[in-house]
């Protein structure tokens, strides 16, 4: 009896393990709100560059002809809206309509002139005085994750990628000419003498290693 119970338990465990080993379930776009068309629209809302219809068909596991049909329907759906779905360079992406360019430009300019947060100013200072520097080293100085702040500073045109670390391969960042322009500086030698108060590069490396950043 005891042996039979053990065998039964082993069989149940094997069934559970087998279920876990089956891998991800097949994508069922028909069960999603809006079906395949809704799934395509959701993807188009998050991409950073045009996506080919073939890539959409492969991802959603549906025929290419069906994808093309849905794309054409979305083009029609977006008529009269502030944005449009366009085919560019062999791919599809949602763009704001040209006739709304003045409004979009005004919004972007106003956003670019908004004041930086304290976190952004601190991160910018570290990069300015210790460039070229990686996000890991900046994070080691500030003691927090700076990924979002770095993206903001790049979007503002204040910093840019200037290379990569030959040992770790980490992207290195430095300030831009626009940074100098905004501060009214001729070059980096005109920055105030703040650098002595920041850790040396060797200490930054040690901090980054300890913090695993």
Q: What is the pTM of this model?
A: 0.45
Over residues 107-148, the pLDDT tens digits come to 766 665 567 788 888 899 889 988 999 988 888 888 788 888
Confidence tier at 182 by pLDDT (50, 70, 90): confident
Over residues 65-118, the pLDDT tens digits come to 999 999 999 999 999 999 999 988 789 999 888 899 888 777 766 665 567 788
Q: Give dist(CA 31, CA 163) in Å, integer.
A: 46
Domains and CATH numbers, the chain: 29-97 (1.10.10.10), 118-211 (1.10.10.10)
pLDDT at 198: 52
């Amino acid at each position: 009896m005891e042996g039979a119970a053990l065998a039964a338990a082993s069989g149940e465990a094997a069934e559970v393990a087998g279920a876990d080993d089956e891998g991800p379930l097949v994508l069922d776009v028909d069960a999603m709100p809006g079906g395949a068309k809704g799934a395509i629209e959701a993807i188009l809302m998050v991409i950073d560059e045009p996506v080919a219809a073939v890539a959409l068909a492969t991802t959603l596991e549906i025929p290419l002809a069906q994808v093309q049909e849905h794309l054409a329907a979305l083009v029609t759906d977006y008529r009269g809206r502030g944005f449009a779905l366009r085919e560019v360079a062999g791919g599809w992406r949602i763009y704001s309509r040209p006739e709304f360019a003045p409004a979009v430009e005004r919004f972007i300019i106003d956003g670019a002139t908004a004041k930086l947060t304290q976190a952004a100013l601190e991160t910018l200072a570290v990069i300015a005085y210790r460039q070229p520097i990686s996000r890991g080293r900046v994070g080691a100085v500030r003691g927090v994750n700076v990924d979002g702040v770095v993206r903001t500073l790049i979007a503002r045109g204040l910093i840019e990628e200037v290379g990569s670390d030959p040992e770790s391969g980490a992207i290195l960042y430095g300030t831009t000419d626009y940074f100098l322009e905004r501060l009214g500086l001729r070059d980096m030698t005109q920055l105030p003498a703040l650098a002595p108060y920041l850790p040396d590069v060797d200490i930054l490396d040690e901090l980054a290693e300890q913090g695993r950043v």
